[in-house]
A and B are shown apart, each in its own frame.
Chain A
Amino acid sequence: MQTMRHLSRSGLRTSLFSRRTLRDSLIRLNPALLLSNPVMFIVELTFFVVAAMAVYPPAFWPVASLALRVYYVEIALILLLTVWFATLSNALAESQAKNTANSLRSLESEVQSKKILVEGDVRRVVATPSTALRKGDLILLEKNDVVPIDAEVLEGISMVDESLLTGESTPVRKAPGDEVIGGSKIISDNLTARVTVNPEETYISQMIKMVESSKRPRTPNEVAVTMVLVGLTAIFTIIVSALLGLSITLNLAIDLSVLIALYVCLLPTTIGALLPAIGLSGISRLYRRKIVAKSGRAVERAGDTDVIILDKTGTITVGNRQATEFIPFEGHTSKEVGEAAFLSSWHDDTPEGRSLIRLAYEDGFVPRELNALAVSEVYEFSASTRTSGVKISQGSGFMLPKGDKSGRERGRLRRKFEPRQEAGSAPSEDETEIIKGAPDAVKKIVRTVPSNYDELVNQISSRGDTPLAVTKNREAIGLIRLRDVLKPDIREKIESVKVMGIRPVMLTGDQPLTAKSIANEVGIDEYKPEAKPEDKYEIVMREQAENRVVAMIGDGTNDAPALAAADVGLAMNSGTQAAKEAANMVDLESNPAKIIEVVMLGKQLLMTRGAVTTFSIANDVAKYFAIVPVMFASTLPQLKALNILGLGLNTAVLSALIFNAVIIPLLIPLAMRGIRFKPTSTMSLFIKNALIYGGGGIIVPFIGIKLIDTALLSLGA
């Protein structure tokens, strides 16, 4: 089970308690800055009142007396401390958020770019960090460069690997007029391109900047919680004012400082103090996972997720299939299939191809024709034929040096030798032609189809694997089993999602049998095989029509509409700019499985806020019983019977007030790391938390106040 345990402690590194944080917390004591926090603002007002009482008690006759001046000083100090604890928690949370944001920014600015300076007819290339680029700048993109920022190609034709962005492993050809996307990789040739966007306009920069500013807009839920706090504050204001009025008219002789103490104790100071820190830390926790959120609102929304759309590739499986078995047709051997696969994959740099070589090598199927590979024609994979292959020609004398740095030459050669199945020309005697590909495509080019061809293909698909057919000189010799490798822990993650009442929906381009098998294996009941990017949008729309909250991930431009429509859209940093802009969160590590963590973090944020609110309100029970009996003690001694804690008459009020103050710093770690929880159903979370923070909120202050009182009494206060 995934717990939130690993978050612990990291939130409160000692570095957070810097001098700057301290200064920041003191600056925030300025009443004008406290106005946005009504509860703390009022506590500070009461501090000024009690301080005035200490300075000149006669001004407050008949509710203050000279004899109690020391007492007033004590109360005033505790009140000030209460406010300071609140501002401190705020300053800590903000410094934490800034620290994490800075680490994210450094992550983003690591890319170096080659800026072209045009001076007359002379062009000069200058190494520039990507963050220093401006819109309209010219950049040089060379082989193996990572495109630093979105740009438009001006000169040159090149193959660009966008697999990290789009999942499509085939390199894309980019010619003048085409867009290259930041994060993609040049694999051949050089390009000159013009930057189309300013770095600070990039989505992530904007988001980091927004969260850094202390004027973070409050989320709807924060606004509503604030409303509760304001309402309670108003109620207690009336209660205490009425008590003051009665004290005067009925001669109850209640000291104003005691009334103020009761007032502040009853106010929801704990949540009032920690509310901003809780929201900010929620975003920081997301940052620490290298996820940038557009707003706190998006994080909260994640907690409400009802449906989560998962891309199979990258989320459930590691993304690349691995060859696991060679299956020969009748009359052929595994060795034959393995060797053919080895030969055909030699030029294939994709993880799939490498896994084929590895498997063949491990099984000892290293072909004798290895040397001949140096002289070969390569059939690149093409989407139209859905096959790839190699033709080994003994006598052609054509050399393609492996590992040659000149990608340009190699690329030209590849284009020259496009696969020519359509020609149907059989290879000559001294040639060996190996083609592998999708079984239905291969079926069309072989001379005879083995009788159990379809049966074997289906067998592999039904297990959730992908079959690959291998031909040698147009004769089907066998199949390769490509297995989707599940991500570690994915089954547990899916289980925890389901347990929380969230419905996972899996999308995959695979055919139905494969999709079903994978879905079954990880415990997903709903899946969409042969899915196109538009399907995501449709699913989002369908679920939202039922008023469900939908979370999804996406990276391609095709995903943008769905990402924009989804309540929680997590874009991959490797994805297109369009996707990132449409989403409300971006994962800088481009790990789609993180969507599950985002949901958990959202829940944790809401739970923490609810728990501290409940705890704060439940604390009032004990505070009433601590203060009310001694409040009336001088005039109505019978009410001492309510002093069920047996607190000291002179110390009870101070004890309650001290408890009220120190509970804030004690809860800062909880507020900043979030409450821990195990994924279970909403109802069991509710019961458990209601018991801990509701029940605990009633009991803890009884114990705490009694302990403080005992300590005060033993100190002879």
Chain B
Amino acid sequence: MIQPADFLTLVLILLSAIVAGRLLAPYIVKIFTHAPSRLDRFLDPVEKAIYRLLGVAPSHGMGWREYFLSALIVNIFQMILAFIIFVFQGGLPLNPQGFPGFSLDLAFMQVISFGTNTNLQHYNGEGVCNQLPNCYPLNNTPGLSYLSQMTAVQFLQFTSATTGICVAAAMIRGFVANSRDMGNFYTDFVRSLTRLFLPLCLIAALIFVGLGVPQTLNGYRIVSTLEGSTQTILVGPVASLVSIMQLGTNGGGYYGANSAYPFQNPNPASDIFQIFLMLLIPTALCFVYGQMLGKKKEARPILWGAYSLFAIDLLIAFIPNYTLSRGMEARFGGFFSTFWTVVTTAVTTGSVNSSLFGNHPLVILSAFMGMLIQSSPGGKGVGVMYMVMYVVITVFIVGLMSGRTPEYLGMKINARDVKLVMLTFLVHPVIILVPTVLAYATGAASAIGVSTGSTGFTQIFYEFTSAAANNGSDFLGATGNTPFFNISTALVMLSGRFIPIGLLLALAGSMMNRRRTSEIGLRTDSATFTIVLVGSILLLVVLTFFPFLALGPILEFFQKRVNGF
């Protein structure tokens, strides 16, 4: 059970995230509604120059198809650029360690991983041991050059997070009364970069530097230790990457050990700050939803639904005593490790500050829930999108019992909406379960030494759940660097990202300009509705995977209990 002091810390962090999210929301709204801002004086010329450079007509409004295709094409183009950098990094500058290029399948998987905001990593960024004296990571994978870290990784982390928030804004516009179109992807994209992510990351990076996170391009340092031997200090542009990886709910760390590595997460203050950054924008977007709709109360089911599910995750995770176990970072202890794991999966960041192997099965169960639900409060942008979808389907199924054909925001929910939602629901079971079975059937799992027992099953099931939810935390790490896992996870990440986005944009597109009644039947902003919403999400989303969770973390829980855990 959770200690009182820890509970207080937890509550304070969550409260500060909610308060900060509330304060940030009006600013984000301004970005997407093009409301005048004090920043216009500096940023308008910059943005106009970018539009001119790209040949974009900023006032052109897009329908859902055009918006989605623009986002898809831009993202694919960016991924191709990153792909080239990953493959050819050996011959490119800013590579003081002289890392060779990635294999094609690893590069393919990694660009999709970063491009889809997943950040599943089948490599250790700091490099391989046979190239360096006395280095910690033991896995034989190539590292990433400074250029790759800064351009390919960080660049995609920015663009994928930005894409997420843009499509969310587009979806919201579909639900806003009397909107003419879903906005312009290019202007949304540029404005959220220049006005939101770049400034916030600059501030966050400076704070991280202040907290002791390195930011340098001077190469790894080899120093003499007190014992007289030498040690390689793995430094690089870490602070800037950490800020976007957490703010953008990306999760791909500079180092293979992610935020368990002392340079990426030097002290409790940096740990708390990272948790805060993960929660900040997903929380803010809940408020943004209500404000853009012009119905602030409609943010309630989104926000409180998300945080109720989050609370359930926490409740499950904190059932066992969080004693320090193998794989946990001693500097933070069991509480911060558990808390981090729950947060990182609830907002689908996927960064870790402890090895998942060290976490209690119930914490892993909680992590699964976060990833399957994807909106507690979920990743950048898509968290809100999923929650709105959950609201729509809950209104439809349960709302019928109020004696009216179901309406959301005064709009009747029709068969096509239901079809789109059901298709979105279908994505997860397909892209998680099919490759999980294939991993065993093809022998790919046993090839990397994964057992057929509950622990092994958890690893494989987790890998694809994390990929499907665009989370990025994983058990496999660099051991997953095999053609099967690289290609399968890449396809899963791609489908898990863009199919739901496409379907939900289509849903919003069909909502646009639908007849609305001002009569309020079912109040979606009521506490009752939020309770029903949470219930239906647990029933429709989590319970669906119950047999598989039973084979994984639940079985592990009972086995360990039997074994005196």
Contact = CB atoms under 8 A, between A and B. Distances in A.
Contacts of B532: 690, 694
A631 B548 CA distance: 12
A529 interface: no
A242 B551 contact: no
B397 A228 contact: yes
A434 B419 CA distance: 74
Interface stretch (A45-53, A384-392, A605-613): A605-613
Interface in A226-246: 226-228, 230-232, 234-236, 238-239, 241-243, 245-246
Interface string A274-318: 000000000000000000000000001001101000000000000
Contacts of B545: 239
B440 interface: yes
B418 A227 contact: yes
B402 A231 contact: no
Given A242-B548, A246-B551, A624-B546, A609 B400 contact: yes
A245 B519 contact: no
A546 B397 CA distance: 26
Interface string B540-554: 100111111011001
A636 B434 CA distance: 22
Contacts of B457: 250
Interface string A246-260: 100111100000000
A686 B423 contact: no
Given A220-B414, A250-B457, A690-B401, A620 B539 contact: yes
Contacts of A491: none
B526 interface: yes
Interface stretch (B100-108, B160-168, B272-280, B510-518): B510-518
Contact of A610 (B398, B441, B517): B398
Interface in B526-565: 526, 528-529, 532, 535, 539-540, 543-548, 550-551, 554-555, 558-559, 562
A689 B544 contact: no
A636 B556 CA distance: 11
Interface string A89-106: 000000000000000000
Given A227-B418, A227-B419, A234-B422, A250 B452 contact: yes
Interface string A591-633: 0000000000011101101110110011011001000100110
Interface stretch (A347-355, A554-562, A637-645): A637-645
Given A231-B425, A641-B558, A686-B528, A607 B547 contact: no
A235 B429 contact: yes
B521 interface: yes
Contact of B515 (A234, A501, A547, A677): A547
Nearest to B434: A242
A220 to B, nearest CB: 6
Interface residues of B, number: 63
B16 interface: no
B547 A239 contact: yes
Nearest to A232: B422
A607 B402 contact: yes
B522 A686 contact: yes
A223 interface: yes
A557 to B, nearest CB: 30
Contacts of A252: 551
Interface stretch (B141-149, B374-382, B403-411): B403-411
B546 A632 contact: no
B543 A689 contact: no
A689 B401 contact: yes
Interface string A680-701: 0011011101100110000000
A603 B405 CA distance: 9
Contacts of B430: 238
The residue in B421, B437, B554 that gathers the most chain A C-beta atoms within 10 A of its C-beta is B437
A235 to B, nearest CB: 5
A195 interface: no
A682 B558 contact: no
A694 B531 CA distance: 12
B396 A685 contact: no
Contacts of A500: 403
Nearest to B519: A306
Interface string A304-345: 101000000000000000000000000000000000000000
Contact of B397 (A242, A614, A639): A614
Nearest to A246: B437
B422 A231 contact: yes
B403 A685 contact: yes
A657 to B, nearest CB: 17
Residue among A239, A246, A262, A300 with most chain B CB within 10 A: A246
Contacts of B496: none
Contacts of A250: 440, 452, 457, 551
Contact of B526 (A221, A246, A621, A683): A683
Contact of B558 (A228, A638, A694): A638
B415 interface: yes
Contacts of A234: 422, 426
A689 B546 CA distance: 27
B425 to A, nearest CB: 6
B76 interface: no
A243 B425 contact: no
A677 B403 contact: yes
A546 B415 CA distance: 23
B382 to A, nearest CB: 20
A442 interface: no
A399 interface: no
B413 interface: yes
B399 interface: yes
A614 B403 CA distance: 13
Given A228-B418, A249-B440, A548-B517, A682 B398 contact: no
A547 B521 contact: no
A235 B432 CA distance: 12
Contacts of B419: 227, 231
Contacts of A77: none
Nearest to A222: B415
Contacts of A236: 544
Contacts of A617: 397, 539-540
Contact of B433 (A230, A239, A631): A239
Nearest to B411: A547
A547 B421 CA distance: 25
B297 interface: no
A690 B398 contact: yes
Contacts of A636: 454, 551, 555
Contacts of A641: 558
Contacts of B547: 239, 243, 262, 624, 628, 631
A300 B410 CA distance: 17
A236 B398 CA distance: 20
A677 to B, nearest CB: 7
Given A235-B429, A683-B523, A690-B528, A620 B543 contact: yes
A671 to B, nearest CB: 14
12 contacts: A220-B405, A228-B396, A236-B544, A243-B548, A246-B551, A250-B452, A252-B551, A306-B519, A546-B518, A547-B517, A614-B398, A624-B547
Given A249-B437, A249-B440, A639-B550, 4 more contacts: A235-B429, A304-B404, A614-B400, A690-B532
Interface of B: 393, 396-405, 410, 413-415, 417-419, 421-423, 425-426, 429-430, 433-434, 436-437, 440-441, 452, 454, 457, 515-523, 526, 528-529, 532, 535, 539-540, 543-548, 550-551, 554-555, 558-559, 562
Interface of A: 220-221, 223-228, 230-232, 234-236, 238-239, 241-243, 245-246, 249-252, 262, 300, 303-304, 306, 500-501, 546-549, 602-604, 606-607, 609-611, 613-614, 617-618, 620-621, 624, 628, 631-632, 636, 638-639, 641-642, 677, 682-683, 685-687, 689-690, 693-694
Which 8 residue pairs across A and B have the least CB separation, nearest first? A231-B422, A610-B400, A603-B403, A242-B433, A689-B401, A245-B437, A610-B401, A686-B402
